[in-house]
Structure 1
Amino acid sequence: MISAPKLREDLELLTGMDDRPLVYDPVTGAYHRVTRAAQLVLTQLDGTRSREELIALLSDGGGRRDEVEDFLTRLEESGLLVGAERQDKDASGKRIRTSMFMPRIVLTRSLPVLLEPLARVLRRWNARALVAVAGLGALAGFSLGAFTVFTSPPSFERIGGAAFVVAALLQLVAVLVHESAHALVAQVLKVPVRGLGVALLFYFLPLAYVDRTDAYRLRGRGGRIVLALAGLMSDGWLTGVSAVVALTADGFVQHTAAFLLVFQLIGMVINLNPLLPSDGYSAIETATGLVDPRGRAFTLLGALIVPKPLPNYLANLALKARLAYLAYGLVCAAYVGVLALSMISTLPMLVQAVMAAAGR
């Protein structure tokens, strides 16, 4: 243990999301959330007092000695104190990062440079008007896309054909546009993304992503909500374009647009999934200020179904917060129900498509 704890001078103490105190570590690129009480403790870590002197001062002779001791230990383990072990290389600079379920590969870090000219122009416009136009256009696009698919579904006999393949390739381009939309909003808000890359869910399923960790610096919720939904809004506009093409074209172009619509609507459902760390989940978490809404909601609902003691952080929840978590749990249940009914209703078409593909 460090005898005279001193906070590293290269750390940045700032106030970020929802006015929460944050400590930014430029070595690892990580943000550490701290309480306001802990923020005051950090100001005392100048290396002039021994560990025992600090504990005595901050615990004020009361029963908080163990809390202060634990806080100092966690600071040391996180590498935030002078003399503590830390990474010699900026972790955010690595091209490949591994995790238990989702290794990530950074493809480019040049998006901020590429997007800044457009971001500079957009900053001159009224932000509320831009968001309103983008949001309403996305809703109209998704609505028109759903109407087109359900009234004029694609010919499933053509699965695996040229139109299907071209639509799949165009969907990959749409995914790139989706992630670039997140990056553009971040650039407009002056919290540039760190990179664009590919993540392999369970080391198998490729997913595009942009690293928008620095969104922690955005204090207001409005900007973070728009940042979370930017990809969906761009998807809505592209879906609207595909729907217009599918309704007005014919032949190969019409078949391609119809398949592309199916891909885009499936993408919408995935991005609104409240059970995964999706764009929709991020937006709800940001808008409500709830902490781990998925986990807490399921714990509360489970306790209602099978009565059991709740952990302290849930047992002492205010009634308003408890109802909010329960409402989120019901939204998740409704999402699963609607998704299940949709899959059941489309099952005959899927069987038809498989049989058609097998008979080719």
Structure 2
Amino acid sequence: MSTARVLPPLRQDLRLLPGAADENGAPRWLLFDTARNKYFALSAGGIDLVRHWQGGATLDDFLQTLRARGKEYGAEELAAFVDFVVSNHLCEARSAEASARIGERYQATVLGLWRWLLHHYLFVRIPLCRPDPWLARWTPRLSWLFTPAMHYGVLVSGLLGLVLVMRQWDHFLATFLHFFTVEGLLLYGLTLVLVKSVHELGHALVARRLGCRVASMGVAFLVLFPVLYTDTTDAWRLRSRSARLRIVTAGVRAELYLALLATLLWNLLPEGPLRSAAFFVATTSWITSLLVNISPFLRFDGYYAFSDWLGIENLQTRAFAFGRWRLRQLLLGLNAPLPEPQPRARIRLLVGYAWATWVYRFFLFMGIALLVYHLFFKVLGIALFLVEVMWFIALPIGKEMGMWWKQRRECAINRGRLLGWGLAAGLLLAGLLPLPVSVPVPALLKAGAEQTLFVSEPAQVIEVGVEPGQRVVAGQVLLRLGSEQLDFELGQVEEEIGFTRQRLERSASSAQEKAGLAITEQQYRRLLERRSGLLARRQRLELRAPFDGRVAHVEQLHAGVWVGAEMPLLSLVVPGKLQLEGYLGEQYLELVKSGDRGVFVADRPGEPPLEVEIQDVDIGAVFSLPYGELSSEFGGDIAVRPVEQDKLVPEEGHYRVSIMPLETTGADLDARLPGVVRVEGDSRSWLWHQWRRMMAVLIRESGF
């Protein structure tokens, strides 16, 4: 590297400020770029170079000047610092060559429209206002918000509100379901804007109260979802770590205070718009504060608070370096030096944090990829999905694998590492080998022949002739009912029949009646048909056993009770016969076939297992589940969603399975008995199955 380079002159608008000590307690200074509102931390060596900087001098002359003042620096060290100054635009460009160099660097950073969208659709910031003058006026007037009395008053009020909410938790939870309506979503959006405005205002007020300038406030788009932000870069000038921590946590504290007050108000306000508003403010504040802002894995408040609490700057960058170092050491045995000197406990902390962040980011980016796929029309959604997966998941993994390949000659293989790789290979092989699968089939055990008896019209019970458990024979009277209205109509018809018969008998004595004989005979036939229908109705009110069997259930009936039409009155079963009806999930459809055997295990304790055999599997999935006992709504294994007309629609495809019991245990079953049939299905490879499922989804979604 040539030392004939000339030191460029430093910009005159740069400011040198005392900064907080580093992690080891050594003093540091801050170089503040006022034009870009950006701070650069300098160590003792860096501050000496800035103080003695000689613009226009060569590197050799500057090194001699430093040695004359007792400062020892190497040529490469000085050249690296000059590169830092130039690359961060901290020097003046007085020559055409320097200006051209700056222009070239700027042009290299300029992206076309599509490249800009590709790099910034996940996150882009738009400043809306510069609130510092307004904060300078209002921060002294709002000093009462930061008093201990205000702090403890809000805490006591919030705790009281939480206690009151727990006493009426069911009502509070029922109100939460209002979120899932169109009106609820609109109110939620407005409430989120209010809560996040308070959040950002908390950052700004605390920063200004501690003497920091708030450069801007605005809106940022995170995967095209708008979120507010506050620029508190000036907090770097604070030398107290606790003061910086107060600024970072101010937003979350403001949200939690708002949630505590809104929780109390929800208990005190009457039903109406104000109480609904208090509910939305409370729940939105609790959810966004606890689930989003305090997470240390995202670069939100939780991350910066965690970083300040540990006293580690650039936490993720440094932790990732330790995570990669430890991963290469464990998997490949690479004996690389530490990325930086750190105590052993701090190294373990950084490695654990890095690995946890990688796992969190994997699922986060996969979720974002699915989100952007569903947010846009299909062609653009697929393109953005692939960009998301390739850029944020596949590319980092590929780079790390490439580094492993480059350092393959330095790997150290020992017995423990071979055991680990062998275990991983064994798991992979287990995923590839076809293994038998135990298939669960939610099923219902019921009587082989079962019939529930109903009444055809409203009637009054006259006599109950059976009891639950009683054996009956076909044709035996089980229940007698009567209807005063039916008896009245039948009496009227009998009178009309008698009167019409008399008219027919006297028809020969009167010439006028002979002329209307045909009409009278037709009326007579109609009356006879009507009487026949009424007698049939009365006969249906006498319920008889349709087959030999046993009474399984009788409603609470006694003489004089009125029953409604189509009301179930009692049920009969045929002893000695059992029937199983199951519902097979779509993912197991290819594993089960007719003739397979299994075991039925009932949900009721004490019931012995029952040997069964698969008879038939329907070729079409059911539209609704006929048995509520098997649904998730009533504690069953099949996930359903209720729809209109009391239908239970399975969330995934399920196919009806006819199952034959091979034993007669439990032949006198009175009620339907839910359970699970375990069938030893055909063998299949787990990885191959997952691959087929993924390809099926891709083929399905690729259709336009």
Normalising by structure 2, we get a TM-score of: 0.41
Amino acid at match of 2:136: E
Give the one of 313, 323, 326 matched to 1:291. Answer: 313
Contact 1:141 1:237 in 2 (8 A): no
Give the one of 210, 215, 238 matched to 1:189. Answer: 210
324-333 or 10-19: bigger deviation: 324-333
Aligned length: 334
TM-aligned CA deviation for residue 28 of structure 1: 2.2
Amino acid at match of 2:80: D
TM-aligned CA deviation for residue 296 of structure 1: 4.0
For residues 44-59 of structure 1, the aligned pairs below 5 Å read 44-47=52-55, 49-58=57-66
Distance 1:261 1:8, change over 3 A: same
Instruction: Report the equivalent of 2:75.
Output: 65
Structure with bigger helix share is 1
Listed one character per residue, the Cα deviations across residues 181-231 of structure 1 (whole Å, up to 9, x for unaligned) are: 1111111111121111001124x1211001111111111111111100111
Amino acid at match of 2:18: T
Aligned pair 1:14/2:17, yes or no? yes
Distance 1:118 1:168, change over 3 A: same
TM-aligned CA deviation for residue 310 of structure 1: 7.8
Instruction: Report the equivalent of 1:322.
Output: 347
Aligned pair 1:168/2:192, yes or no? no
Identical amino acids, percent of aligned pairs: 22
- Aligned to 1:120, the other structure's residue is in SS state coil
Contact 1:12 1:25 in 2 (8 A): yes
- Aligned to 1:103, the other structure's residue is in SS state strand
TM-aligned CA deviation for residue 143 of structure 1: 6.3
Distance 1:265 1:327, change over 3 A: same
Instruction: Report the equivalent of 1:263.
Output: 284
Aligned pair 1:33/2:58, yes or no? no
TM-aligned CA deviation for residue 70 of structure 1: 1.4
Contact 1:170 1:260 in 2 (8 A): yes
With a CA cutoff of 8 Å and minimum separation of 6, indicate the structure with the bigger relative contact order: 1
Contact 2:165 2:267 in 1 (8 A): no
Contact 1:200 1:206 in 2 (8 A): yes
For residues 175-254 of structure 1, the aligned pairs below 5 Å read 175-202=196-223, 204-248=224-268, 249-254=270-275
Q: Which runs of 5+ in 2 are unaligned?
A: 22-26, 104-115, 365-631, 634-638, 648-704
- Aligned to 2:32, the other structure's residue is in SS state strand
> What RMSD, in angstroms, separates the aligned Cα atoms of the two structures?
4.3
For 2:46 and 2:157, how far apart are their aligned partners in 1?
43
Listed one character per residue, the Cα deviations across residues 138-178 of structure 1 (whole Å, up to 9, x for unaligned) are: 98599679969965313425622434422431221111111
For 1:48 and 1:135, how far apart are their aligned partners in 2?
61
Instruction: Report the equivalent of 1:80.
Output: 90
TM-aligned CA deviation for residue 6 of structure 1: 2.7
For 1:37 and 1:134, how far apart are their aligned partners in 2?
50
For 1:274 and 1:354, how far apart are their aligned partners in 2?
39
42-51 or 192-201: bigger deviation: 42-51
Give the one of 260, 267, 273 matched to 2:295. Answer: 273
Amino acid at match of 1:247: N
Aligned pair 1:114/2:134, yes or no? yes
301-310 or 5-14: bigger deviation: 301-310
Contact 1:145 1:240 in 2 (8 A): no
For 1:150 and 1:310, how far apart are their aligned partners in 2?
57
222-231 or 155-164: bigger deviation: 155-164
Structure with bigger strand share is 2
TM-aligned CA deviation for residue 266 of structure 1: 2.3
- Aligned to 1:258, the other structure's residue is in SS state helix
Please list every run of at least 4 consecutive aligned residues from structure 1 whose deviation after the TM superposition is greater than 6 angstroms. Answer: 59-63, 125-128, 141-146, 330-336, 351-356
Contact 1:199 1:207 in 2 (8 A): yes
Normalising by structure 1, we get a TM-score of: 0.75
Distance 1:275 1:145, change over 3 A: farther
- Aligned to 2:339, the other structure's residue is in SS state helix
For residues 291-310 of structure 1, the aligned pairs below 5 Å read 291-297=313-319, 300=322, 303=326, 306=331, 309=334
Contact 2:128 2:219 in 1 (8 A): yes
For 2:335 and 2:271, how far apart are their aligned partners in 1?
59
